[in-house]
Structure 1
Amino acid sequence: MTGPIEDANVWHARAKEHENARTQNESQNSTTVQARNQTKPLRDLQDRVYDLETYVKGAGTRPISAERYLGSVHPAGPGSTSDKNTLLETERALLRGKGFKTQYFGPTHGASLLLQFEELSRYVKDILQRLPTLEKHRNMWKYQRKELSPNLMLPTFDTLVALLPEQSRADILVQDYFETLETTYRVLHAPTFFRKYKEFWTASFKGDFSVFLVQLLLVCASVNCSVAGAPTGFKGRNTVGRDMAVKWIDICESWLNIQSQKHMTLEVFQVRVLLVIAKKLNCVKIKREWTVSGQLLRQAMSSGFHREPTFLSKNISVFDQEMRRRLWFTIVELDLQVSIDRGMGASIGPFDWDTLPPLNLHDEDLDESTETLPPARPISEFTRTSFLCLAQQHLSLRLDIVARMNSIRGGLESDTAIELDQKIRQILDTLPAWKDDAAKVMSKDLSELLLYEFLLLIHQPFATQTDGQAQHFYSRAARRSAALSTMKIFTSLRSSSGKTMCHLRDDLYRACLATCHDIIVFNSKDALMQDRGIAVGLIEDSVNLMEERIRTGGQGFHSYWLASSALGLLRSIPVEKSAQETADRVARLHDYMMSQQIAPLEGGSTNGLEDAAMSTANTLVGMSGQPTPALPELDPFVTTTTDPFNAFSETLYDFDITDLWSMGGMGALPTQY
């Protein structure tokens, strides 16, 4: 494969070496393979005898040999027990289907009794055998339903091809995606993807590549706004790059909505996860993120991803087992992060799954022909899955903290916060020091950010209390340290990784506000505790990163506006002047967006969005320009109205929404202005 991917992707080269070595090894050991194939029917017969004996003894349960399927390569997962036979003898859940075409039915499902009611199961099978016309009628009904139902049109292959960027651009986007997102949240199997990627470009768009094209479009959409080189310009408040990515997302979502929910495949489930990631990174329907991630989690659970496949089924290959584990923990991580940013409880508890953790393996260590998983590599050796293996070790702890903090009945006590603080810091101390360049792109930093975020969160309720300052001294210092560390990590990332991380998480915005609050409210009493210059510098760098995010994606005004205002409040200059500078800064950003507007096609119709945007930008510039209307001098620390400040007012909170761009001018401002 030509292009930047072949030059920069070390794993792709390893995939070729692995494939060549395996081909040579298979040719040298053909005799051994033949002998193994001859013994396979005997092994299958032994397994069937074992199953039959188990059925008789266990009254319908069917335990799976732990020695055969688990071996010693997987550590114990949450909710699992060392006595696998005991767990399976009492199991009352059903996992039906093969591969990814599985459906899970829990213990309360009515049919779960059939596992202990073998007599009824045999009786029903006997009845079905006596109804030969039933299958014939069922096929007839399926045919009639297909004929009477309108045909749903999938996006055509030519439509998907037409939406693709040029190969040179696609190479860069795919490379960045695999360097950042695919070394953190595992969705794709790299050798399989790259093989199809090469075949697609060399086959001159011939062949059945529809599913792959949907995956490729979502991969490109995920990082299109973060990677330099996208078309410049704005359409309203959206950059051309984001507008293009949203079109890719929409066509892929329409393709997914028509897919069968019954006959699921690995590729289609990967599209489901990629769609959620792409929407998150392009701020598509941000108010629905929590419900969308929860829906994805429920879809995974309905397919039984939350259950260890080796406990309940023998119809899932070794490769599919490991991919299910990767996808499950990726989905849980995505839902947990969205829950934190929304301030809601996660959709799952720390003891609601028994899926074993994914193994720390290179993608080249396994493929669809793998019969036995190799031993896991040490966590100190970095692979694409290392971040996920590391994150799942403290996943239950983080879920428990979120449940406590966002519960309407719960909350954290001061002593509990200190205990959790110690647990998190112990994990921080044991993080592996990966030296690989691939780990430094995002995985190493995100492993730390996961923990610093929770340090900030657990101390926030106590650090903001103005009374009992001596009692909560440690919480204030811990929150300050976590916030500064968060900002330092974000601002030291490479440009594309920093913008991607800003879209994935809200902890940079949270850290900026926490630091500003700490300096303004408490700095007068603890002036020696913090170097104000370093803190202000980190906040300014963070605000610059938020601004760059808007310049490339057109999204993120709410956090940028408030962080810019907090930065202005920190300036060691009169408040009136700092407020004017902040207003000028926001106005300059809007002026830049207006100067980059793409002219509509001649003769084409518009919805007035660009005109409204231009009018609003002029309004903001007018509000911040030097000749300002005569207004009474206001003391920002004195209440001038009986109405309290509403941090979640419609105008403030919906700063990203088109309502602001429809104001038109000063005369059209809402009454609260």
Structure 2
Amino acid sequence: MADQVQDVHPMEWGPGKTPQGRARLPSSFDATVKDPVAAVHSENLVCRVPMHRIRHLESLVYDLMQNSSANVNQEQVGVTPSPGDQPHVPDYPTPSAAHAPSTNQEPASAAVSPADYGSMQSTGGGANYVGSAHWAAVLDGIAELKDHLDNEESHHSDSQGVDPPCLQVTGPQLLYGCPKPADKDEILSSIPARSVVDRLVSRYFNSFEMSPAVLHSVQFLKEYEEFWEDPQTTSPIWLGLLFTIMCLATQFEKSRLDPGVQSPAVLSMERELQEMVDTFRLRIPQCLVLGSYAKGGPFVLETLMLYIAAEIFLSNDAEIEIWILMGNTVQLALHMGYHRDPKHFKGLSPFTAEMRRRIWATIVEMDLGLSAQMGLPRMIKHWQTDTQEPSNFQDSDFDSATVEMPPSRLNTDLTPILYRLVKARLMTTIGYIWDFSADVRPYPYTEVQKMDDKLDQARKSIPECLKWHSMARNITDSPQHIMQKVILETVFYRAKIVLHRKYMFLPLAQSASSRRIVLESALKLLDYQHMLQEETQPFCQLYQERWRVSSLVNHDFLLATSILCYYLQHARGATPQLSESASFDETIMTSLSRSHDIWLQSSNSSKEARKVVRALAVILGRVNTPSADAAGESGLVFGLQSTYPPSTTNDYSQAPMITPTAEWQEMDGQSQWLPGPRVIQRLTYDMQRQQMRWGL
């Protein structure tokens, strides 16, 4: 029996593998691509294969796996590891710590379709894999979409032409070295005049809710003053930190421009701001390399974290380079001991200990968020760390001279750090769920129920000041506060989908409950997508904060869209008996139709949006709808519109230094760059109204 169990264990199945271990070729795979002549012949052969035969074979395989799943489940019950096999953290069940169910419990369930093993796409550079909980894997699991997506992608590539070999590097430049190494004098010369930097720093601290989790504003202000007193003695890494702050602040400022106004003055200002972003973005890796960042040290993690944030806001889609850079950051944090609580070590001041906890909590959250966006296991596991969560302090409550930390403020005290603390607690539970979904071993449905209860408890623990009720009840809140509430909601519903997705169409008594949870969570997410689309339009409440709807936020909406398409495919085809009511299905169609129109507006600048638009066109019967390429460029998605080609914001390794409208001045015997008058005028605003939250 043990041998039989081993034969059917899911670990024997790999991504793109059959149960016998052979590679499973996708329907669009061309096995003779190495021979151009043979490739043409093979393509003609494939075209002559009747599609109904492919559909019939897929249906047979699906039915076979459905019928055999119960037998497989009974055999797999005994292979669930015991708690002693893996480290275990109390109160949070994990797949590796799940007890084997008794005979009267519902057994663990094996995957019922190849999509449950994830999705692997062959590319010119190799293969790309995403886990089964990723939105792209969900779409790839819909049989009706395979040929449509493949043909549309091929058509889009042909219409764009063959890209010539490109020597320029896109994405985070740090991964590829520095083609333009710079010394400190050159780096210092590209820092704007202090009046401009002051306003950029103020914009950063007043706009970015991540700032208190990375930098202590009072301490930074001291270091900032020391820099202006003697720039030459400032470390290159701290200069890199300053450039990340200026890069982010300039992006925020650029997003405040009205995309509906295309006057020469606005276009000129947009170009100037984009040039500033390109320059600051290029300087960051130069500073990191100049400061030997791989050795660790002060400000290294802070700079890398903000650098990653800047790259995320510059990307319309998930980028593997950002995830890899996050991996480097995790490795450095482990090397510097951030995963162990400071109480274990002597010589660390209370101030240093608290900031290390803040930084580590943020790294854990970023790791999980980016890993989920890529559809890959997270890099930090809960059994690797014992660092305590940070406390709810105002920056004015402690500083580097503090000998004994004061008591933490209550969760009802809405400090700048509270949102990060609340989100970190919620993400702790979501992290267990992500590990749950990524585990290749089976586990009983009772463990899913336990994790679902933990997730509900985590949501209930959110303080009232950060709970979402409705837009009508938030009209007096700041846009930043509203977005914080929305993000907490979207990550919660995404976790619901990830946890229950595998159980939507299984022959278990609980599958109906899981299916309803998944569908209602997906509909909730698309409701938030629609709300954000409306409120980020001109004259609406979130218009000035529309930059916050990043690719990380859109990932949740992509998952919701894909899972509803997946449900409709099953409800109409393979398993109509498991569908919901006709009225509920109509609600789903209405929500998807609305989402289609939203995705269509960003399909010119986002390949992910383009893919989901094609999928929705098939599901909704809009095959003849104007394609993504024909989407109006005047459409605004989340109030944003790019007036630059996609390569402009991603290609900066060869970006020239700012010259068109830049002015130069002598300051303390050293040349300094001064932005054009339009940018200076734009950055000049009432400092009393935009007070810096430095606790002074």
TM range (shorter): 0.5 to 0.7
1:504 positional shift: 3.1
Distance 1:565 1:240, change over 3 A: farther
CA distance in 2, matches of 1:503, 1:261: 27
Equivalenced residue count is 435
The residue that corresponds to 2:419 in the other structure is 387
Which residue identity does 1:378 align to in structure 2? L
CA distance in 1, matches of 2:634, 2:508: 40
Q: Does the CA-based 8 Å contact 1:224-1:230 persist in structure 2?
A: no
CA distance in 2, matches of 1:360, 1:307: 20
Answering whether residue 343 of structure 2 is matched by residue 317 of structure 1, we say no
Q: Does the CA-based 8 Å contact 1:173-1:224 persist in structure 2?
A: no
The residue that corresponds to 1:428 in the other structure is 459
The Cα offsets for residues 365-397 of structure 1, whole Å up to 9 and x where unpaired, read as 111111111110111222222133223434443
Answering whether residue 554 of structure 2 is matched by residue 513 of structure 1, we say no
| SS of the residue 2:218 aligns to | helix
The Cα offsets for residues 540-570 of structure 1, whole Å up to 9 and x where unpaired, read as 47526746xx7xxx5xx22110232244345
Cα RMSD (Å)? 4.4
Which residue identity does 2:552 align to in structure 1? L
The residue that corresponds to 1:186 in the other structure is 213
Which structure has more relative contact order (CA 8 Å, sep 6+)? It is 2
Q: Does the CA-based 8 Å contact 2:600-2:610 persist in structure 1?
A: no
- Matches for 1:23-34 after TM superposition, within 5 Å: none
1:307 positional shift: 1.2
1:198 positional shift: 7.4
| SS of the residue 1:382 aligns to | coil
- Matches for 1:291-310 after TM superposition, within 5 Å: 291-310=324-343
Q: Does the CA-based 8 Å contact 2:561-2:592 persist in structure 1?
A: no
The residue that corresponds to 2:169 in the other structure is none
Q: Give the one of 464, 489, 509 matched to 1:448.
A: 489
Q: Give the one of 510, 513, 517 matched to 1:474.
A: 513
CA distance in 1, matches of 2:204, 2:524: 25
The residue that corresponds to 1:522 in the other structure is 571
Answering whether residue 550 of structure 2 is matched by residue 502 of structure 1, we say yes
| SS of the residue 2:408 aligns to | coil
The Cα offsets for residues 252-281 of structure 1, whole Å up to 9 and x where unpaired, read as 112112224598543333212222222233
| SS of the residue 1:186 aligns to | helix
The residue that corresponds to 1:539 in the other structure is 595
Q: Does the CA-based 8 Å contact 2:423-2:488 persist in structure 1?
A: yes
CA distance in 2, matches of 1:157, 1:301: 33
1:243 positional shift: 6.7
CA distance in 2, matches of 1:434, 1:594: 35
Which residue identity does 2:320 align to in structure 1? K
Answering whether residue 284 of structure 2 is matched by residue 252 of structure 1, we say yes
Q: Does the CA-based 8 Å contact 2:601-2:635 persist in structure 1?
A: no
Distance 1:269 1:155, change over 3 A: farther
TM-score, structure 2 as length reference: 0.54
- Note the residue ranges of structure 2 that are not aligned, 5 or more in a row: 1-87, 91-179, 467-476, 533-541, 573-578, 649-653, 656-696
1:471 positional shift: 4.9
CA distance in 2, matches of 1:363, 1:411: 46
Q: Does the CA-based 8 Å contact 1:569-1:575 persist in structure 2?
A: yes
TM-score, structure 1 as length reference: 0.55
1:225 positional shift: 4.3
Rg: which structure is higher? 1
Distance 1:262 1:363, change over 3 A: same
1:319 positional shift: 0.8
Q: Give the one of 382, 393, 418 matched to 2:449.
A: 418
1:457 positional shift: 0.8
CA distance in 2, matches of 1:536, 1:369: 56
The residue that corresponds to 1:329 in the other structure is 361
Distance 1:599 1:542, change over 3 A: closer
Which residue identity does 1:526 align to in structure 2? S
The residue that corresponds to 2:617 in the other structure is 568
The residue that corresponds to 2:5 in the other structure is none
The residue that corresponds to 1:584 in the other structure is 630
| SS of the residue 1:345 aligns to | coil
Q: Does the CA-based 8 Å contact 1:345-1:406 persist in structure 2?
A: yes
CA distance in 2, matches of 1:595, 1:274: 25
The residue that corresponds to 2:242 in the other structure is 216
CA distance in 1, matches of 2:282, 2:601: 28
The residue that corresponds to 2:673 in the other structure is none
Select between 266-275 and 526-535 the one with higher mean Cα deviation.
Answer: 526-535
Q: Does the CA-based 8 Å contact 1:502-1:508 persist in structure 2?
A: no
Distance 1:516 1:587, change over 3 A: farther
- Note the residue ranges of structure 1 that are not aligned, 5 or more in a row: 1-77, 81-151, 601-605, 608-673
